[in-house]
Structure 1
């Protein structure tokens, strides 16, 4: 499907191409009648023979023949492939923490298409070799999937059969791909589809199924020139990749009809059957995904008792839809448009769909909370109700306000997917409250008291330090609009706000508050900014830019200072490439999977930072243990990375902070919370002083 990157306030006018992309691929599954008995052992067994294990995805990279002749690693394809590889590694690690399957036994072998290699079959039912290949197609050149030629090593063999007797083996089975449950072919190129869709990041399709119809192989095509866009972050590519792989793994209109009903779960695969009904329509004609777990999950999300008839799907010009309805699922990973990673969530309802496919066991702890429409009731998102002011997720007038995640200021507008419903969409530029660089220049007038900061959010307010004119009723004449102010979570889902120069003021959800030193009011949104942790009185931020992590392990940030060639200035793309090289070296030094490391970056002053958190399904030590091990080994032996003819060497490392504000470091020994916190504050202060001293050193020369 074409994922559109809407970083500007714009309307996504191009239609999604997933259906026609998937339709262009012939879905193959094992053909028992075409194979001798001795070959059948290579067919993946039906689910039930082994317990489910994390989905093993192997990637196979390919290049176009034209590109091979003049491959330029510094060109669009080279830079694009580097970014694609990094995004794929992180995405696959994430999927392995989400989906489990009954593992394929032995090497994975894909099927050949008999309609391609065979010109004729024996047609007499009385013939022993009835319906087997009697005449080969001389023009057969092998199998392909979405423009990628599949190697013979990945494919089963084929034979020519006489009318009676044993076959003549034409091509033996390939060795197959070991330790694999899904084979992903990867192509980085600027295809005609990429040319037609200027904002496309990637598109994908499923190519082959096993004997239970579970996807076995697929292809993802990255649009090389678009991957090098300066407005496209690593997190954006990861999120787009996740969307595409979820299509190829089963969330597709072309695959819904193959979903399985397994009443006893994956352990009894022999009892599975094709689901009788996966989609349907309600009394208003809305297309629905009607499977049971999805229906229950949506009911819980909307806060209504009992299951619903189903979850609405986007109408896609007469085709079976492969996306959730945008009016009800803004922010879900599986809606048809992509607004950027910081607005997108891998939601529980999407994971419920994969459970209902009958092919996967799902880890729901990896789900990210979908805030759009949460607890809004049965009529939320209907065209008949979205414009009557009954829900503050939608807006009903023109003007500026706040995007529903409160990360950005927004403009009230619609698009074809919303079908007349309107919502606050982020402004073209400078709308992010959490970016300090969007703030006013030093000593500039700030009559509204706005603060741009990592912990700032958008609030409707008409605050001003100037005297307000009022109407006859004594109300302010200034219309509230979206403004940026600091917030911090307190207890039980509550929070406080602060404007420039003011103290912290409790902000009661649903109420308006006055801020000392300012005229006017600030309006406190209902329960979206902070969520109460179960079993405690603490509250945590419900929105965090740009990436949210599961809460199963602590989150640390590793920081490494680099030295390089004196006076060398690196551009944004060069810094991204260097960040990826440093990350690869860090992962190698750690001796673990990449699933511990997230969102790497390098500043203009050559400071490399990467978030460390153990993703679900990630095998290895705790994050705290790995962090301590890495910092010790960096002190003993610095890293060296070659990039652009220069050598970059790590100089320093330090613990910045725990991004979830949990500063305790637990490795099996339980210290008292107060002692731990005091100790870490002292160590952090000393470390900050030491790091500040070292940070003042000039970048030293390094010989190549």
Structure 2
């Protein structure tokens, strides 16, 4: 009996596979209708998001009891608690269970019934197929009933014997958790996550998946690193994904990207990937300095209101039009992360390399600008690049370096093997410049030799100081007689060499950086050499340090960093002290560029470094990049 009379049916060619990594299969992204209760009143108060994990027993059976407890009681408990404190949403108008649409062995179809209700139908069979989300099989009890449609008659029926499952009540996000014991499905990675289902009303992701790979349980993975990685992946699953930008909403619930039909469909490109409106994502051209002169470099920006303001405030550049997205790598990296060259150690860059990468206000602004969440900015941290100015964020690394009057303190370096501090300043490093096998893209040519540059394409071949010595490691020999290793020590650059005076005779040692104890307070940065503390009042200030150890006198000129560069995890002290970077605001001459859109889905690299004892060593930023490239998927 044909008891469903749809007004219309729409083929869902645009609902294609969502993959957390390009080569890893996942499930179909289906919209689901949460019945009439999805209508949200503006008067309703926000409530903490409720993420409900369900564990895929088939894959969990490969874990030991200890591993299961570690995953469920430590990792996932931490994650659900963290996001309940981080995000809140307006509750559904009444208790509405979340059900996933059944998989279809033919072509999915959007169905609108006479009462206006939307549902997902199937031109084919949806009763005998297994419905999955990532590597997890969705239980029958979590599925809606099967609607089978006839493309000739445009009529639909509930499949015989098919009924709605109970669904998942008292939840805002159903998360299916798996632990696939197959390294071929997890090549060189610890975990990945992504959304599987959007709800029709506001298009918010309501069902997703996270998979833990075998490497997560080797005993060599630091717990803080794994938790940081899952936070990163969950932010993708909740909305920071190029495929989802077209579904973002204004604060009043209206779509940021105008819909193209009565089925709430978004515009797509020729490959079927959603195209967000230019009020959300925009491409512009930056004037980019290379060794051969200026060229135009196209960059893609998130230009939603909160993101724009937070990016301007962080970088100290009120001319910024938006926050730059990653442009390098395959579809698993480009477009779904912040640009690594500009965002460096922020949580949502394409490489997770340590357990303390800060979640920034810019990332939370993006989640809030999605229209789906209210966010808790108190849980954010600062990252490298604060108050560096327009030249840092809108120019090439060569252009930024050439304009810097205190090159010892520049994030980048252009003298091979030069000693200096790494960007997070926990290590002394050497400037790593190499000859690549082939000529670099002209946009990334900074040296007379076209194949010469930094090591890594993710940072656009910009040269950095690669770590050679860990200032925080007390078990290492001191870097110099006046250096001091320890958990409260950081790298400070020297202006020139270290001078050693013995019996009136001077010798010069090529030591251009050192490890010194530091502190941050509301008067600025203090560096301690021996028993003497020195105050840094501004970036580039030179402190003439003299230390006598027995009959030997050591003299060195320490270069003061910007407060934000070394106290980036306590940035509020920098504004209180006034000892901040003098950020310049030069117009980078941005011009509109042709917009391109590509399906991306949060490909991220997590890096661990096992030691003989089975623990994880601290990983400095640039060393982590080197190891990480072994695991890049594109």
**Displacement of 1:72:** 5.4
| Deviation of 1:167 (Å) | 5.1
- Indicate whether 1:521 and 2:557 are aligned: yes
Relative to total residues, which structure has the larger strand share, 1 or 2? 2
Aligned counterpart for 1:228 among listed residues 205, 213, 218: 218
Q: In terms of mean alpha carbon deviation, does 390-399 or 450-459 score higher?
A: 390-399
Instruction: Tell me the TM-score normalized by structure 2.
Output: 0.68
Q: Who is 1:594 aligned against? A: none
Which residue is equivalent to 1:410?
429
Structure 1 counterpart of 2:263: none
Q: Match for 1:451 among 461, 484, 492?
A: 484
The equivalent residue for 1:214 is: 204
- The answer as to whether partners of 1:496 and 1:505 remain within 8 angstroms in 2 is yes
- 2:609 aligns with none
Deviation at 1:533, TM superposition (A): 4.7
How far is 1:299 from its partner? 1.4
Instruction: Note the residue ranges of structure 2 that are not aligned, 5 or more in a row.
Output: 1-17, 259-275, 286-296, 433-453, 549-553, 582-611, 617-634
C-alpha separation in 1, matches of 2:76 and 2:383:
24
Distance in 2 of aligned mates of 1:455 and 1:217: 43
Provide the alpha-carbon RMSD of the alignment.
Answer: 4.2
Displacement of 1:203? 1.0
How many residues align? The count is 493
**Aligned partners of 1:451 and 1:485 also within 8 Å:** yes
Aligned to 2:341: 327
Structure 1 residues 44-193: aligned runs within 5 Å: 44-46=38-40, 48=42, 50-64=44-58, 68=61, 71=62, 73=64, 79=67, 82-83=70-71, 85-104=73-92, 105-113=94-102, 115-116=104-105, 137=125, 140-158=128-146, 170-193=161-184
Classify 1:361/1:379 alpha carbon distance in 2 versus 1 (closer, same or farther; 3 Å): same
The answer to which structure, 1 or 2, has the higher relative contact order (CA under 8 A, 6+ apart) is 2
Shift of 1:205: 1.4
**Does structure 2 retain, via aligned residues, the 8 Å contact 1:301–1:374?**
yes
User: How far is the alpha carbon of 1:60 from its aligned partner?
Assistant: 1.0
Aligned position for 2:27: 25
- Equivalences for residues 261-276 of structure 1 within 5 A: 262=250, 265=251, 268-269=252-253, 274=258, 276=277
CA distance in 1, matches of 2:524, 2:304: 33
* Structure with the higher fraction of residues in helix conformation: 1
Distance in 1, Cα, partners of 2:501 & 2:547: 13
CA–CA distance in 1 between the matches of 2:578 and 2:402?
32
Alpha-carbon shift at residue 515 of structure 1 (Å): 3.0
How far off is 1:450 after superposition?
Answer: 1.8
Per-residue CA distance 1:184-207 (angstroms, 9 max, x = gap) = 1111223345553x2x11111110
Post-superposition CA distance 1:136-163 (Å, at most 9, x none)? 6387233101121011222222356899
Distance 2:120 2:384 in 1: 55
Q: Following TM superposition, by how much is the alpha carbon of 1:131 offset from its aligned partner in structure 2, in angstroms?
A: 11
Report whether the alignment pairs 1:282 with 2:284: yes
Q: CA deviation at 1:374?
A: 2.8
CA contact (8 A) 1:387 1:421 kept: no
Cα deviation for residue 272 of structure 1 reads: 7.0
1:293 and 1:153 map into 2 onto residues whose CA distance is 40
Q: Assess if the C-alpha contact under 8 Å between 1:25 and 1:145 holds in 2.
A: yes
Given the superposition, is the C-alpha separation of residues 381 and 109 from structure 1 closer, same or farther in structure 2, using an over 3 Å criterion? same
Separation of aligned partners in 2, 1:366 and 1:130 = 37
1:86 counterpart SS class:
helix
SS of alignment partner, residue 238 of structure 1: helix
Q: 1:439 to 1:170 in 2, by over 3 A?
A: farther
On the 8 A contact 2:282/2:303 being kept in 1, the answer is yes
Preserved CA contact (<8 Å) 2:319 2:390? no
Aligned residue in 2 for 1:460? 493
> Highest Rg: 1 or 2?
1
Superposed, 1:597-608 pairs within 5 Å as none
